Amino acid sequence: MAVPIRTTVAALCAGLMATLFTTVPAQAGQREHVWAVSEAAHAPRARISLDDTTGKLSLSVSRDGRTVLEPSPVGIVTEQADLSQGLRFLHRKDRQVNERYRTTSGKRLDRKVRMQETRLSFAGADGARVDLVVRASADGVAYRYVLPAGHGDVLGEASAFNLPADAGAWLSTYRVDNEGQFAQYTAATAPTGAYSEQALFSTPGGYALLAESDLTGSYSGAQLAHTQGTGSYRIQLADQRVHTDGALATTWRAMVTGDLATVTRSTFTDDLAPSAKVADRSWIKPGTVLWTWLAGGKEAGQSLAAQKAYVDYAAERGWPYEAVDAGWYYKPGEWDITDPDWQTNSWMPELVEYARAKGVGIVVWIHQRDLDTPEERAQWLPTLERWGVKGVKIDFMNSEAQSMLQWYDIILPETAAHHLMVDFHGSTIPKGIQRTWPQVMTLEGVGGEEKRTNTAAHLTTLPFTRNVIGSMDFTPGAFQRVGLRPNSDAAEVGLTVAYESGLQMFAGTPASYDERPLARAYFDQVPAAWDDTRLLAGAPGQEAVVARRSGNRWFIGGVYAGAARTAEVPVNLGPGRWLVQTIQDGAEGLVQDSRVLRNGDTLSADIVANGGFAALACPWRPGVTTCYR
């Protein structure tokens, strides 16, 4: 009887997996145990090794036999035990993680997860226990420590990432608000110091982006400590002592890896995070936002008349939200919150009702210090919900210490309970939070449009670093900031697509949009949630061309650093012919061009120095002359 091909392939795959997940037995003279974890033959392969002499663990990552991560120390130290050495192997357990989930925002709404998980259990010299849980998928490797109750507070990790010394490195100096600029080095030549964990490296086995996932108040945030001359980047926790009560599963130490297109498209850090804790998500609606801070500053925030004018403009354009930033609950020199009649005296309910009648939702800024006690949250959150406010932009957390992460653990369910979407500023970066708490539409954690020192190289690095981790509130579109931003007008249009954000805040003034009707018309089309994302061309620090699909239309954003050039971008959007309408910089301002291209053709675009372009593509057939609706 003939054996079906499908059965044969399945048997071969099962045999391959059995080979990959076999523990190398200890033999005479052998001084280590070795375990390998991989999801498929050509996927990243994690190799965990226990030195039987020292009892130290290390982990390395390769792809198709080529190094991604060199053997790197693994271990954790608690009050009760040093679990970074003196370990002996107890047992292992394997399972496959298969999940499907849907997000409310992000680079791809529908997600499919397939990971291989290996759990290795060890005992320390004094009998203390620790489990090392390792997961591997097609686009990443991650591990975490699991400790039983009674281990005491965590004093630190031995965890480090050892990269090849000559690996290309794109690093951001660590700041508590995660707003440092990215600069390029090699792994060894980067100056001694602390760096954000969202660090990108180019290795013989592909690109590798370091990250975290499932970071909560049970643990502490991390930064990378580096000494110049080595390729080692050590995990340094924000707290010298992480307080624990009972069993503990630490954050995932993650590495997104593959070619640049794979890294850019990856949802690995979301995939590692717990499932959504919000059952009814019908009220969570991503969208574009007219943001008034760079357009009018605090003075606009103190004026009901000014805010109504912004609402009128958003309604005219069909933009679904308007954001009222700092100033709306200020009195000159003091906080309105000190006034017992502040809720009665506020003009916000009038603005919300005015906006609602015009089909515009209101998002309001609020300082974290006004939400840091139960009494303040009980005062603010129900009131904002009663007024009809759609979302809150919470600012100035400026910490990844355990105490602040515990505050996040409180504010997240409370904002969900009051049907308030959230934009965190002065914050941590997403780290899986958007899967677990889908009302979190975006987070800052980036050197964004407000900065006066950004470089074009920084702008072209963000799609491969910070924005890989999750939604990024860069606030593009500030055309009025000529001389304060490093890019061209066409590049500024392109940023609205190159950078993903569930609430995409347009930072320009109405006058600046009216002076650029092509940009304004493009903004009218841009959605804030996507069905798919593809990298069409890219090199960190040099260029990034990202295509995002909504329905049957592809939006394309290209940003460049360096001299003027003619860009040649492959149109890999799907079979058939495509009508592609581009916006580029011209001698007299923005210009538009339309052409019909077959899939696989090259799109040429004239790029000015530190410039870019935007495009909208839709399926072409006879009679189709525009992709705009």
Rounded Cα distance between 462 and 468, Å, is 8
- 450 included as an active-site residue: yes
**Cα distances (Å, whole numbers) of residue 284 to 97, 102, 372, 434:** 28, 13, 24, 12
Please provide the DSSP assignment of 550-593 as one string: ETTEEEEEEEE-SS-EEEEEE--S-SSEEEEEEEEEETTEEEEE
Q: 3-class secondary structure for 192-225?
A: CEEECCCCEEEECCEEEEEEEECCCCCCCCEEEE
Read off the tokens for 339.
Answer: 């006034």
Q: Does residue 560 contact residue 543 with C-beta atoms inside 8 Å?
A: yes
Q: How far apart are the first and last CA of the chain?
A: 59
Rounded Cα distance between 162 and 72, Å, is 5
Per-residue b/e over 195-222, b at no fewer than 16 CB within 10 Å?
A: bbbbbbbbbebbbbbbbbbbbbbbbbbb
| Residue corresponding to tokens 């925002």 | 105
Q: Does residue 466 contact residue 429 with C-beta atoms inside 8 Å?
A: yes
Q: Select which of 139, 157, 395, 489 is catalytic.
A: 395
> Do the strands 421-424 and 440-443 form a parallel or antiparallel pair, or are they unpaired?
parallel
Taking each helix axis from N to C end, the angle separating 517-525 and 489-498, rounded to the nearest 10 degrees, works out to 0
Rounded Cα distance between 622 and 615, Å, is 20
Q: Does residue 184 contact residue 168 with C-beta atoms inside 8 Å?
A: yes
Phi/psi region, residue 169 (left: phi>0; alpha: psi -120 to 50; beta: rest), is beta
- 299 included as an active-site residue: no
Residues in CB range of 65: below 8 A, 6 or more apart: none
Half-sphere exposure of 200 (CA within 13 A, CB side): 26
Q: Does residue 48 contact residue 57 with C-beta atoms inside 8 Å?
A: yes
> Do the strands 129-137 and 232-237 form a parallel or antiparallel pair, or are they unpaired?
unpaired
Contacts 24+ apart (CB under 8 A), 93-100: 93/118, 93/119, 93/121, 94/21, 94/118, 94/119, 95/119, 97/135, 99/271, 99/275
Neighbour tally for 100: CB within 10 Å? 9
Which helix (H) or strand (E) element contains residue 331?
A: strand 330-331
Rounded Cα distance between 195 and 171, Å, is 7
Q: Select which of 52, 117, 372, 450 is catalytic.
A: 450
Residue from 157, 604, 169, 237 nearest 400 by CA: 237
Residue from 424, 346, 420 nearest 384 by CA: 420
Phi, psi of 524 (to 5 degrees): -60, -25
Read off the tokens for 486.
Answer: 């490093």
Catalytic residues: 395, 450
